[in-house]
């Protein structure tokens, strides 16, 4: 309990599993279910290849989070890199969401939460960055699709409009709104209905609108808290493809309790259990050759 | 025939024996007796109150159409010996509109502000609890008691500028005084309704706004309050209903004259607002057989107008609600 979990830091030069890059692309990212062999994760991970590059954006260093007396996150250290997707997996209540929320200081909204250790964004401690500025650089998408009750256009424009300044004209915001929607792969579907209420979109479209909203702030890090858990498989696949596409522009951190999903989208995976970071490794290594007993049991479905 | 020869009888498949199955719907015929009586009472009371409400509206409609003359809406009440000479109730109608406007102008912003503070801030929590119970107790105070308290306040010399003052004696009865106290009557309803609206917005929606770098103030103004528009409208309507319907405060704090009695020394709108006046409810009371005027027909006519005002408010709130439904809400 008191000893920090073993963490293997992967250096930037660490070659990502070479077999993935050369593997033939598969038509669909579904169907990575259990196949032959001891591990259920022997299939090709996904059609998109290994990361082209990776730049360290955030550094989580010995972070613990307490809610009152309860310690939700215990001495976790992790890098967050642009160019790849980091997935945090683990059973519910293991602290993965708390860790995610502490990356843009959302935990501070809970009055009982206390954080120790340090989190740095581009080598600046995030406690030194004004929260609203930090949250524009590290944006977040939530479990439930939660567009604001206004038009599709206004949802994005709300993020773009600077606080306190005069409301800009719709025309001047248009290019930025369109680009945010395109980056989230939603523009083609909604371009004729930008004035329609956002809450009348389908669940998958709503979630992509939330991603577009988070991207509109031009963040360096995008946090996703179980973004697909309220969605159907088809929308899930669209969003997973989108997540992988985004990794070159922003550092992506995704929390998920869906192991298959982590396997499909992530380049690196951190497995958390009861607040501890049990294992951190590249996705293929963690799923296929887990070093820790706990990880092996979790990824093979012995507990969950 | 043959099956009856088989020794073990097959168990009767439906539990309700002797009844023809009527499809897979649940009927009350399988319920306990007490539950069935309860259901019958619910039906009876529901229909009874529908009937009572309908009876009131229809009765007032018939009486109102019979006795209401358009001239009543534009002529003030006057002293006279015959029905034709005593005029209408234009002063009372305008008076109702004045207290409604002024009362709401005070109660609505204050109520929204209090609700926002309670739900979004509410710290220190002891202060929030005290505020909450204070508002609840204001809601419980009969308006006549509030009116009595109002006389103490508005007869003080410091507030003399709000009502007629002659030779240093403050009259303490004016549209200002009545509206201020009426806003207290409406306030708890506005607070309760807006609070309910704010509480119904999921926490993650607020966090979604914070998570793109918005402040609490911006979130409240641009997201939370616009989302609560139907509840704000409901609170305003309930509050207005109370203001328009109140009589006690009008009698005690508005002077309950039959006409406007503007003060002389100040310019136009202020002279009326500082003076005494009347409202429709007070007119209905005075014109009823117990009142000084004793003209029941005019009481019915005025009551009919009052009813129309309340129905119009209800319709307006319906429109706001329907519009917000077009915007949609979050899936749970």
pLDDT, tens digit, for every residue of B47-96?
Answer: 999 999 999 989 989 988 898 888 888 888 888 777 777 888 999 999 99
**How buried is B230 (Cβ within 10 angstroms: 0-12 exposed, 13-18 middle, 19+ buried)?**
buried
Strands A55-67 and A70-82: antiparallel
Q: Is A136 on the interface with B (CB under 8 A)?
A: yes
Q: Which residue has the higher pLDDT, A35 or A198?
A: A198
User: What was the pLDDT predicted at A51?
Assistant: 80
Whether the per-residue pLDDT at A8 is higher than 50: the answer is no
Q: Is B210 on the interface with A (CB under 8 A)?
A: yes
B215 contacts A142? CB cut-off 8 A: no
Q: Residue A172: which pLDDT band, with cuts at 50, 70 and 90?
A: confident
User: What was the pLDDT predicted at A6?
Assistant: 46
User: What was the pLDDT predicted at B88?
Assistant: 85
User: What was the pLDDT predicted at A31?
Assistant: 40
Q: For A117-152, how does the pLDDT look when each residue is reduced to its tens digit (9 = 90+)?
A: 999 999 999 999 999 999 999 999 999 999 999 999
CB nearest to B205's CB, from A146, A197, A217: A146
Segment A239-243 shows an average pLDDT of 91
Whether the per-residue pLDDT at A48 is higher than 90: the answer is no
The whole-angstrom separation of Cα A50 and Cα A283 is: 11
- Of A291, A302, A286, which Cα lies nearest the Cα of A41? A286
What 8-state DSSP symbol labels residue B224? I
Q: Which residue has the higher pLDDT, A292 or B24?
A: A292
Q: For A214-234, how does the pLDDT look when each residue is reduced to its tens digit (9 = 90+)?
A: 999 999 999 999 999 988 998
Count of Cβ atoms closer than 10 Å to residue B264 Cβ: 7
Whether the per-residue pLDDT at A235 is higher than 60: the answer is yes
User: What was the pLDDT predicted at B46?
Assistant: 97
Which residues of chain B carry a pLDDT beneath 70? 1-23, 332
User: What was the pLDDT predicted at B332?
Assistant: 61
User: What was the pLDDT predicted at B21?
Assistant: 58
B226 contacts A150? CB cut-off 8 A: yes
Q: Which residue has the higher pLDDT, B84 or A295?
A: A295
pTM confidence score: 0.81
Q: How far is CA A245 from CA A15, A144, A241, B159, in A?
A: 20, 22, 6, 69
Shortest Cα distance, chain B CAs vs residue A142, angstroms = 7
The whole-angstrom separation of Cα A14 and Cα A10 is: 6
* Sheet containing strand A113-121, strands side by side: A124-125, A113-121, A55-67, A70-82, A276-282, A268-273, A85-89, A251-255, A221-225, A138-141
**How buried is B306 (Cβ within 10 angstroms: 0-12 exposed, 13-18 middle, 19+ buried)?**
buried
B226 contacts A106? CB cut-off 8 A: no
User: What was the pLDDT predicted at A275?
Assistant: 92
B208 contacts A142? CB cut-off 8 A: yes
The encoded tokens of residue A254 equal 């995704």
């Amino acid at each position: 309990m008191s000893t920090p979990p073993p963490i293997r830091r992967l250096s930037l030069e660490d070659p990502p599993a070479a077999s993935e890059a050369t593997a033939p692309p598969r038509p669909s990212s579904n169907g990575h279910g259990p196949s032959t062999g001891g591990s259920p994760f022997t299939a090709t991970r996904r059609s998109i290849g290994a990361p082209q590059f990776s730049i360290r954006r955030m550094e989580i260093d010995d972070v613990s989070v307490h809610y009152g007396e309860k310690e939700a996150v215990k001495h976790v250290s992790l890098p967050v890199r642009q160019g790849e997707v980091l997935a945090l997996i683990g059973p519910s209540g293991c602290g993965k969401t708390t860790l995610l929320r502490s990356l843009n200081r959302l935990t501070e909204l809970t009055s009982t939460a206390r954080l120790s250790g340090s989190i740095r964004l581009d080598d600046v401690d995030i406690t030194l960055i004004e929260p609203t500025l930090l949250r524009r650089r590290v944006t977040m998408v939530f479990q439930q699709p939660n567009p604001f009750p206004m038009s599709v256009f206004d949802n994005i424009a709300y993020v773009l409009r600077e606080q306190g300044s005069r409301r800009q004209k719709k025309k001047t915001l248009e290019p930025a709104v369109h680009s945010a929607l395109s980056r989230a792969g939603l523009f083609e579907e909604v371009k004729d209905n930008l004035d329609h209420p956002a809450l009348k979109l389908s669940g998958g479209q709503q979630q992509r609108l939330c991603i577009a909203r988070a991207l509109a702030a031009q963040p360096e890090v995008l946090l996703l808290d179980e973004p697909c858990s309220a969605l159907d498989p088809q929308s899930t696949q669209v969003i997973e493809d989108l997540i992988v596409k985004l990794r070159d522009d922003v550092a992506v951190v995704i929390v998920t309790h869906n192991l298959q999903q982590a396997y499909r989208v992530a380049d690196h995976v951190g497995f958390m259990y009861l607040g501890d970071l049990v294992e951190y490794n590249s996705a293929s290594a963690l799923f296929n050759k887990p070093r820790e007993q706990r990880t092996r049991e979790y990824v093979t479905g012995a507990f969950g | 025939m043959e099956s009856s020869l088989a020794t073990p009888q097959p168990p009767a498949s439906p539990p309700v024996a002797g009844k023809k199955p009527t499809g897979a719907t649940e009927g009350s015929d399988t319920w306990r007796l007490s539950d069935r009586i309860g259901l019958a009472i619910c039906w009876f009371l529901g229909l009874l109150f529908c009937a009572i409400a309908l009876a009131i509206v229809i009765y007032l409609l018939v009486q109102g159409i019979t006795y209401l003359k358009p001239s009543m809406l534009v002529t003030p009440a006057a002293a006279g010996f015959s029905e034709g000479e005593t005029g209408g109730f234009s002063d009372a109608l305008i008076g109702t509109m004045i207290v409604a406007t002024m009362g709401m102008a005070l109660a609505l912003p204050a109520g929204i502000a209090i609700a926002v503070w309670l739900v979004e801030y509410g710290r220190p929590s002891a202060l929030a609890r005290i505020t909450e119970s204070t508002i609840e107790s204001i809601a419980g105070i009969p308006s006549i008691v509030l009116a009595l308290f109002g006389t103490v306040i508005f007869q003080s010399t410091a507030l003399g500028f709000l009502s007629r003052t002659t030779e240093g004696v403050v009259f303490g009865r004016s549209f200002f005084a009545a509206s201020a106290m009426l806003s207290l009557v409406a306030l708890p309803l506005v607070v309760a309704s807006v609070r309910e609206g704010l509480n119904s917005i999921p926490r993650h929606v607020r966090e979604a706004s914070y998570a793109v770098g918005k402040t609490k103030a911006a979130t409240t103004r641009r997201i939370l309050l616009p989302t609560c528009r139907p509840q704000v409208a409901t609170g305003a309507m309930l509050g207005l209903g109370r203001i328009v319907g109140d009589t006690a405060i009008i009698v005690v704090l508005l002077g309950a004259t039959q006409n406007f009695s503007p003060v002389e020394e100040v310019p136009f709108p202020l002279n009326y607002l500082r003076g005494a006046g009347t409202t429709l409810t007070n007119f209905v009371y005075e014109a009823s057989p117990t009142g000084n005027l004793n003209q029941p027909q005019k009481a019915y006519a005025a009551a009919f107008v009052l009813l129309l005002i309340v129905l119009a408010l209800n319709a307006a709130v319906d429109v706001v609600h329907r519009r917000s439904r077009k915007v949609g809400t979050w899936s749970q």
